[in-house]
Structure 1
Amino acid sequence: MPVAASIASRSVGPTCHTGKVNSATTRLVTPAEARVDLGAVRHNIGVLAGHAEGAEMMAIVKSDGYGHGAAAIAGACLEAGASRLGTALLSEALTLREAGVTAPILAWLITPGEPLDKAALREIELSAAAPWAIDEIAAAARRTGRPVRVHLKVDTGMSRGGASATDWPSLVKQALAVQAEGAIEIAGIWSHLACADTPEHPANKLQLVAFDEALAVADELGVSSGVIRHIANSAATVTFPQARYDMVRPGLATYGLSPVPERGDFGLRPAMTLVARLANVKRVPAGSGISYGHLYVTDRETTLGLVPLGYADGIMRSGTNRVEVLAAGKRRRVAGRVCMDQFVIDLGDDSADAGDEVILFGPGDRGEPKCQDWADSLGTITYEIVTRIGSRVPRVHSAGVDSVGR
């Protein structure tokens, strides 16, 4: 079985609790779980490949695959046609290697003193934007006898990571000198767009001008024309063809969440459905104050349901009296304060029992809220919703069925 397929067909890591994908016979009974449809992930990679128009694809699986379970997501992405993976941290890349992922992985957020020998030994590509990074990567390569593939990062206007335009020539010269020694290979040149989720923002085109200028400098200094040029994130992949260059780096869109919500869903399908089982159901009289601070008071005799998820699990406290869930066939707003481990919903006179399923968000097929609905209600972005789901919530991966062929 190919590595990608083997990763996708078993649970890996602390956030997964089933022995096999969608194995109901071995599933533990838990108060809540995040169900992740790997078929949706493969579908999304197919959609993104259509937008990429031949550019190579690096699927971004940082932050445990945006909270979806990195190893299983990595396998699904590779099966669907992504050729590379990206993580923020070296530790995330090493975890993927331990899970059996053999595809190229780039880790880009490196700080001084990290165990770069492990990166060299496990063939993890690294980003460098300053002289100290080149020095430490080269030292690790010398100690291990394993040259490291390096992506040089230039700051094109985000003013975050990357070498400034002033420092860029010296960084390239240093990297070329170390490459001549054989300690590193310059594998890529890259940057990051600051405003791609606002496609009409003038900064986008200005950043491409700056990126092209940096590429020209590298070319003049002798960097091979075969390096991978990449700057496009999810939003740029689907809205900004000029930014695709040799490779695109979709993150959020891989998980079926729109990077530009005001322009629709681009045919993407949300991969995560967050569910819980009611822990208690009871009738209370009119005038009952609910949860801490009595921020919700019943205006009639009603039935309350207790949902065993709270801010310790990533359900934001600001969702108090704001976000909705699907329970007993209808959408229900959270009633009262979201607590550390639980919150309450008002079921009215509808029938429900302890153990009944509540859907917090999902693809919307059953009328449940979508992750975007939660983000809109909370004044945030979908990235924050899915990445905050905590480790007490098991990720359960199902194989799913692709709806877009590759």
Structure 2
Amino acid sequence: MAAATTDVRHTVARVDLDALRGNVRALRSLLEEGALASGRPVPAIIAVVKANAYGHGAASVGSALEASGVAMLACADVDEGVVLREAGIAAPILVFGALGISDLDGIFSHRLTPTISSPWAGRALADAAAARGTVLGCHVKIDTGMNRLGLRHDNLRRTLPAILAAPSLRVDALYTHFATADEPESELFGLQQQQFVAAREVAADLGLRTTHVHAANSAALLRDERVWFDAVRPGLLLYGIVPPPLMTTLQLEPALSLHSRIVAVKGVRDGEGAGYGQVFRAAGPRTLAVVPAGYADGVDWRLGNRGVVLVRGRRVPIVGRVSMDMLSIDVTGLDVSPGDEVVLLGRQGDQRIDVREVAATIGTIPWELLCRLGARIQREYCHRP
């Protein structure tokens, strides 16, 4: 009953660019409705495409988002920004992360918008821009309680004046980042809002006249319209996933699905084990199938004996340990053969496995699972007929 494997990698991630664009439209509709109700301008969308667009593929996703009319893309570092520019993307690109000396050339050569999150970064960027005879537009990050990157909200009178006084810098926006927007019981979310309002008042008192302000990631966008400001920064929502434990009535669709195929089918006898450590033992005769997807592909090791996949429209369990390059599933009672499709994320028939479910199964977060999808998994980009 066994079948030999081939050298072909059968595991692929399919990215539905139409779903991505639909998610942008859904978010824009939400922002328009909120703006109409409040009498405020409609916030712009800064689309977050860091970590290879959350595993979806930054170049193709960034191009689709640019075509959808987002105001700006945002990435983690200069190298990610360079990838976007080399893909032909012309939209403004914000770099969230801290800068090093070696990063500065890329800011100018690839027309990136840096974040100033420390006095050192302000001085280095001011000197680099002055040496090039240009005025560099930048965003200033305010640390309102995350205690990671950013100028401390309560120390701005010492740190901000030199940045504002630099003739080679132009501060185009102020922003902050919420630490607990996805934790409804946390008081820090409200405290950070208050401290950001106070920080903006200090900045204005110091002479900053910009009106561009942004703060809301996906969770904050859903929770509180008061923090939409001039722009919002959705990440996970763009890809059709709601940050747990939050819920929404927005019509979103996951853009990524993960597919593989059965490469071998074999029977095991009562009491026999399978895989490393023999942590699975057959209770009676069972039929197992081998799927060429493992932790080197980003399939979490903890899914062994806990996760499920879809085969012939049915949920079947992952048995034994997830190996580096493959996993085993229990297909007892199903008529399966090598070549049959296996869905690890996505829909098959009337069944669906989404990344929130998988994350909850193993006690992690959707962001981690998406970002860890391996480079050797081919991304296939599709449009609906």
TM-score (ref. length: structure 1)? 0.87
Matches within 5 A, 1:7-406: 30-53=9-32, 54-178=42-166, 181=167, 183-226=168-211, 228-264=212-248, 266-362=250-346, 366-400=350-384
8 Å contact from structure 2 (residues 66, 89) kept in 1: no
Read off the aligned partner of 1:255 and give its amino acid letter. Answer: Y
Q: Equivalents in 1 of 2:270, 2:249: separation in Å?
A: 42
Report the identity percentage: 36
Which stretch shows the higher mean deviation, 355-364 or 52-61?
355-364
Report the CA distance between 1:205 and its aligned residue. 1.7
Report the CA distance between 1:288 and its aligned residue. 1.9
Which stretch shows the higher mean deviation, 62-71 or 44-53?
44-53
Report the CA distance between 1:237 and its aligned residue. 1.2
* Structure 1 residues 364 and 241: alpha-carbon distance in aligned structure 2, compared to 1, 3 A threshold: farther
Read off the aligned partner of 2:111 and give its amino acid letter. Answer: E
Report the CA distance between 1:224 and its aligned residue. 1.6
1:297-333 per-position Cα deviation (integer Å, ceiling 9, x unaligned): 1112222110101111111111110111001331011
1:192-245 per-position Cα deviation (integer Å, ceiling 9, x unaligned): 01111124532222111111111111111111233x201000011122101000
Which runs of no fewer than 5 residues in structure 2 stay unpaired?
1-6, 33-41
* Structure 1 residues 186 and 244: alpha-carbon distance in aligned structure 2, compared to 1, 3 A threshold: same
Read off the aligned partner of 2:279 and give its amino acid letter. Answer: L
Q: Equivalents in 2 of 1:125, 1:157: separation in Å?
A: 24
SS state at 2:173 partner: strand
SS state at 2:237 partner: helix
SS state at 2:351 partner: coil
Report the CA distance between 1:388 and its aligned residue. 0.7
Report the CA distance between 1:59 and its aligned residue. 0.3
8 Å contact from structure 1 (residues 52, 248) kept in 2: no
Read off the aligned partner of 1:232 and give its amino acid letter. Answer: A
Report the CA distance between 1:363 and its aligned residue. 5.2
Q: Equivalents in 2 of 1:29, 1:253: separation in Å?
A: 33
Q: Equivalents in 1 of 2:280, 2:155: separation in Å?
A: 57
Q: Equivalents in 1 of 2:252, 2:377: separation in Å?
A: 24
Aligned residues: CA RMSD: 1.7
Q: Equivalents in 2 of 1:219, 1:364: separation in Å?
A: 55
Q: Equivalents in 2 of 1:320, 1:265: separation in Å?
A: 33
How many residues are matched? 370
Report the CA distance between 1:248 and its aligned residue. 0.1
Report the CA distance between 1:364 and its aligned residue. 6.8
1:136-195 per-position Cα deviation (integer Å, ceiling 9, x unaligned): 1122212333322111111111111111133322332111111xx2x1210110000111
Q: Equivalents in 1 of 2:252, 2:191: separation in Å?
A: 29
Which runs of no fewer than 5 residues in structure 1 stay unpaired?
1-27, 402-406
8 Å contact from structure 2 (residues 219, 246) kept in 1: no
* Structure 1 residues 302 and 260: alpha-carbon distance in aligned structure 2, compared to 1, 3 A threshold: closer
Read off the aligned partner of 2:230 and give its amino acid letter. Answer: D
Q: Equivalents in 1 of 2:129, 2:230: separation in Å?
A: 27
8 Å contact from structure 2 (residues 320, 328) kept in 1: yes
Which stretch shows the higher mean deviation, 57-66 or 201-210?
201-210
Which stretch shows the higher mean deviation, 316-325 or 278-287?
278-287
Q: Equivalents in 2 of 1:251, 1:43: separation in Å?
A: 14
SS state at 2:151 partner: coil
